[in-house]
């Protein structure tokens, strides 16, 4: 009987923007001659103490089912699990908070420690309790620099304004002042990347089990959005709207229409339509698959 690769987490482990056969989790499962059991979805939080329910199509961001709920309701045979891939934390912190230029450094550091360390430890203990077999490996994946100093600031400003509705105040009209707005967002993106790697690694270390391992995907500043060798999906402006560049860009719109049918304002649906922005592209997916496989054996 074939073994399973079981996946819990948010849009990164879900493989936002990809057809099933293109996802890095499927690459890992195929390499291991295993079957893929996918439970991750876009927008999921770790969700400690969250008792809300509800779901959307998995390409449409929604915080529930939380990652803890994904684990708690899992019905896979734990004895068949060769590998469990898990991530989480970025949606608990909130991408909008991470990239907002008014976010204070100490506030971001505190949130990252709470969610990528404290809450990740709770999540990992839940995964270990569910998948007890001594041969089952559990791999936690890192995040990446959404923006970096190598990102083109023009496109950073476009994404902030049209994707996250974050724009400099009208009085910041000069090019230099606009660049400072973008630079601050870049600094925060880099701070999240550094701190999340540190805290996720610390969470893995605190578990003290050889079964639990950290896959630190080797992103560099060159691999962020709008950088020379981006490993993340970018977006571009067309007719005053941002357009996604992933394989599911068109089909996801139907999922977003279902998920946000009752939203009084169009902002959430617009953000949903470009949900692939800042997620691993083909090169990024290959890097994730390689990093996971390198620590899973």
Number of H helices, E strands in the chain: 12, 7
- What's the whole-number average pLDDT of the chain? 95
What CATH number has the domain bearing residue 261?
Answer: 3.40.50.1110
Residue 196's SS3 state is helix
Residue 246 CB contacts under 8 Å (≥ 6 apart), including other chains:
16, 17, 18, 233, 276, 279, 281
The more confident residue out of 78 and 168 is 78
Query: So what's the pLDDT on residue 260?
Result: 87
Averaged pLDDT, 241-260 = 95
| The dihedral formed by the CA atoms of 74, 80, 85 and 86, expressed in degrees to the nearest 10 | 30
Domain span including residue 270: 4-296
Closest CA to 71 of 124, 112, 14: 124
Exposure of 171 in the CB half-sphere (CA atoms within 13 A): 0
pLDDT at 261: 84
Instruction: Choose among 18, 32, 40: nearest CA to 283.
Output: 18
Rounded to an integer, the average pLDDT of 190-204 is 98
pLDDT on residue 265: 64
Instruction: Report the pLDDT averaged over residues 278-288.
Output: 98
Q: How confident is the model at residue 170 (pLDDT cuts 50, 70, 90)?
A: low
pLDDT at res. 1: 63
The pTM of this model reads 0.96
Residue 174 in this model has a pLDDT that exceeds 80: yes
What gap in Å lies between CA 288 and CA 278, rounded to an integer? 14
Q: Which of 101-105, 233-237, 269-273 is predicted with the least confidence, judged by mean pLDDT?
A: 269-273
Considering only 164-178, 229-243, 264-278, 283-297, which range has the smallest mean pLDDT? 164-178
What are the C-alpha distances in Å from 51 to residues 33, 64, 111, 116? 36, 9, 20, 20
Residue 262 DSSP one-character state: T
Q: By percentage, how much of the chain surpasses pLDDT 70?
A: 97
Domain tally for the chain?
1
Is there a contact between 44 and 59 (Cβ–Cβ < 8 Å)?
no
Task: Judge whether residue 233 has pLDDT over 80.
Answer: yes
Three-state DSSP class for residue 37: strand
Report the side by side order of strands in the sheet with 137-141.
35-38, 4-8, 81-86, 137-141, 212-215
DSSP-derived letter for residue 96 is: H
Given pLDDT bands bounded at 50, 70 and 90, which one contains residue 293? very high
pLDDT at 173: 66
Residue showing tokens 């430890």: 121
Of 32-36, 131-135, 203-207, 262-266, the range with the lowest mean pLDDT is 262-266
Handedness of CA 233, 12, 95, 214 (dihedral sign): negative
CA 149 to chain centre: 20
């Amino acid at each position: 009987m074939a073994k399973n690769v079981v996946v819990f987490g948010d849009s990164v482990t879900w493989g936002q923007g990809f057809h099933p056969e293109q996802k890095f989790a499927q690459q890992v499962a195929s390499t291991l001659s295993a079957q893929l059991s996918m439970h991750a979805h876009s927008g999921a939080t770790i969700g400690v103490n969250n008792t809300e329910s509800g779901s959307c199509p998995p390409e449409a961001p929604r915080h529930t089912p939380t990652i803890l709920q994904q684990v708690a309701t899992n019905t896979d045979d734990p004895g068949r699990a060769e590998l469990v891939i898990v991530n989480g934390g970025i949606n608990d912190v909130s991408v909008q908070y991470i990239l907002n230029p008014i976010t204070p450094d100490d506030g971001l550091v505190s949130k990252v420690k709470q969610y990528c360390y404290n809450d990740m430890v709770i999540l990992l203990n839940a995964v270990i309790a569910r998948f007890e077999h001594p041969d089952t490996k559990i791999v936690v994946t890192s995040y990446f620099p959404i923006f970096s100093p190598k990102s083109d600031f023009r496109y950073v400003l476009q994404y902030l304004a049209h994707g996250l509705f974050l724009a400099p105040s009208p009085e910041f009209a000069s090019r230099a002042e606009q660049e400072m707005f973008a630079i601050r967002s870049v600094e925060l993106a880099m701070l999240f990347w550094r701190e999340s790697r540190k805290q996720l690694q610390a969470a893995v270390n605190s578990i003290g089990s050889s079964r639990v391992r950290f896959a630190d995907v080797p992103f560099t500043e060159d691999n962020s959005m709008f950088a020379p060798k981006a490993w993340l999906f970018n977006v571009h402006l067309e007719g005053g709207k941002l357009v996604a560049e992933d394989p599911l860009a068109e089909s996801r719109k139907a999922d977003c229409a279902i998920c946000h049918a009752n939203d009084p304002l169009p902002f959430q649906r617009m953000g949903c339509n470009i949900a692939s922005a800042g997620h691993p592209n083909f090169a990024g997916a290959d890097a994730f698959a390689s990093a996971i496989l390198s620590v899973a054996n």
